[in-house]
Structure 1
Amino acid sequence: MAAASASNRESQDRLRRYQARQTVHETKIARRKRDNLIAVLAIVVVGALAATAQIVYFTAGPGTPEPVASASPEPSEPATAAPEPALSEFRTWTGAMTINDGLELGYELDGLAAPQAVASFVSLVQSGFYDGLTCHRLTTEGIFVLQCGDPNGDGTGGPEYRFGPIENPPLDDVYTTGVIAMARQGGDGASMGSQFFIVYDDSTIPADAAGGYTVMGRITSGLDALLADVVAAGVEGGGTDGPPAVPTIITGITIQ
């Protein structure tokens, strides 16, 4: 009888040990499955973020957040109306923009092709709005532009109005060397203000939901000096999109 009892206890002990080992084994399997699931989710998230970053970088144009440094005026209710397109007189305007007191860029604006943008630019020049403002954004990869005309100096500012629609965008999305075009917010064709960009090398800038960018004129002289004095020094900090390494200030601008 005692022998039977001892055998029973031993059997029960073996059963308990077996069940304990099974519990440990099942816990390990559950933990491994959980860890594998977390790893897969992490890979998916990282991949999605990387893909999104690439899409933003290669489709962003001037006025959008970074390959854009943010380079677009922030949305705001306009305090005043934009100058009437008729102010452009629907003709060609010529002028000169002085950078850093020594570099002069000759330019011309096409008031027939982009009357609203030209009317705004002429009005701002005549009021002295651009005097002392910086060129706050240089891009050196993907698109090749120098962006200027923000009173805040960081891509968020402009005059007390915004205007649209987009005028005279290139049909093939190619902005040729020397083009002067208006910056705007991505997807908003009525967000133009005072910010403009100078294309210093042919650039393909894909249209977005709102369309392309308003081409209002072109640089007629001085672009080589701009390349040598500003663009060649690159972006501050060694990146490909940001403030120029050489501080770039509009120290004078005329128009006639």
Structure 2
Amino acid sequence: MAASSRSAREAKRRVQQMEAKRELRREQDKRRKRDNLLATAGGAAALVLAVVLQLTVFSSNPSEDEFKAAEAGLQSPSASATPSPAASNGANIPKPETAAGKTFTGTLALNRGNLGVSLDGSKAPQAAAVFKSLADKNFYKGLSCHRLTTAASFGVLQCGSKSGDGSGDPAYTWGPLENTPANNKYPAGTIAVARTGGNAYGNGTQFFIVYKDTVIPADAAGGYTVVGKVTSGLDVVSKIAAAGVKPGASATDGAPVEPVTIDSFSLK
């Protein structure tokens, strides 16, 4: 009887040990799943941070101080990151009525090749009026396309800064936003208006050409005005992008390796 009792106790102990091991494995599995979830969330947060840093001020590349501030708080410390109240367009801004219901077609001639373009005055009358007016005045002749992005889902060539460094002209700002994509998607060939971050009246003379399908999250002010599209020659921009950006703070966002300038911009 004593031997039988010891065997029973030993068997019970082995069962308890097996149960403890199974419970340990269950806890380890839970921990691994939890760690994987945290890693995935961390990766998603890093992606969101990268997009926010790229787009906090779309009209110019953020400075090193702005980059650090954005990294710390996901926002730029500059005034342009704060939504501005609605304001009347200045006297030097053409009226939207001059383009309402019209379609303007023409050529954006770059030193790397020509692009056929079309501007939609029905969907974006204020923007179309602005760019038709600037083109008619030969404003863009000789200006550069100072910014190129080559990230997987963020491919644009940005042009039209009078200074050539991406800064805007404070004497030439306008709004409101028009024809902004509800889904934040900008298909290849889109021509949209660059602006200061968080400011619906921060549009100016700059525009960007989307050379591959791109997602640009809306900011505090909304999305970016789609004024028209490239009707031919988009491969010219794709070839510029293929050459890459000049070495700098970012491998996918900076000045094009091959300098790009505007020879002329004609619309009729």
TM more than 0.5: yes
* Paired AA for residue 203 in structure 2: M
2:137 to 106, 127, 136: 127
**Aligned equivalents of 1:86, 1:148: Cα separation in 2:** 25
**Aligned equivalents of 1:127, 1:178: Cα separation in 2:** 25
Q: Secondary structure at the match of 2:129?
A: helix
Q: Secondary structure at the match of 2:115?
A: strand
**Aligned equivalents of 2:170, 2:116: Cα separation in 1:** 24
Aligned to 1:237: 247
Aligned to 1:42: none
Q: CA shift at 1:158, angstroms?
A: 3.2
Cα gap change, 1:161 to 1:63, in 2 (>3 Å): farther
* Paired AA for residue 58 in structure 1: V
**Aligned equivalents of 2:199, 2:45: Cα separation in 1:** 20
**Aligned equivalents of 1:92, 1:63: Cα separation in 2:** 31
Aligned to 1:188: 199
* Residue deviations 1:133-183 (CA, integer Å, cap 9, x gap): 000000111411000000111111237321111100111100000000000
Is the aligned partner of 1:246 residue 2:258?
A: yes
1:69 to 44, 61, 68: 61
1:59 to 52, 57, 68: 52
**Aligned equivalents of 1:231, 1:251: Cα separation in 2:** 19
Is the aligned partner of 1:88 residue 2:99?
A: yes
Q: Secondary structure at the match of 2:50?
A: helix
Q: Secondary structure at the match of 2:204?
A: coil
Q: CA shift at 1:79, angstroms?
A: 6.8
**Aligned equivalents of 1:180, 1:61: Cα separation in 2:** 18
RMSD over aligned Cα atoms: 2.9
Written as runs of structure 1 = structure 2, the 5 A alignment for 1:23-172 is 55-60=48-53, 64=57, 69-70=61-62, 80-100=91-111, 103-141=113-151, 142-158=153-169, 160-172=171-183
Cα gap change, 1:190 to 1:109, in 2 (>3 Å): same
Aligned to 1:4: none
Cα gap change, 1:208 to 1:69, in 2 (>3 Å): same
8 Å Cα contact 1:178/1:218 also seen in 2: yes
* Residue deviations 1:116-142 (CA, integer Å, cap 9, x gap): 011000000001111100000001114
> Which stretch of structure 1 is more off in the superposition, 84-93 or 246-255?
84-93
**Aligned equivalents of 1:92, 1:80: Cα separation in 2:** 24
8 Å Cα contact 1:151/1:157 also seen in 2: yes
Instruction: State TM-score, norm by structure 1.
Output: 0.72
**Aligned equivalents of 2:231, 2:258: Cα separation in 1:** 22
Cα gap change, 1:65 to 1:122, in 2 (>3 Å): closer
* Paired AA for residue 69 in structure 1: N
Counting matched residue pairs gives: 203
Q: Secondary structure at the match of 2:157?
A: strand
Q: Secondary structure at the match of 1:219?
A: strand
> Which stretch of structure 1 is more off in the superposition, 156-165 or 174-183?
156-165
**Aligned equivalents of 1:62, 1:95: Cα separation in 2:** 29
Aligned to 1:174: 185
Percent identity for Structure 1 against Structure 2: 46
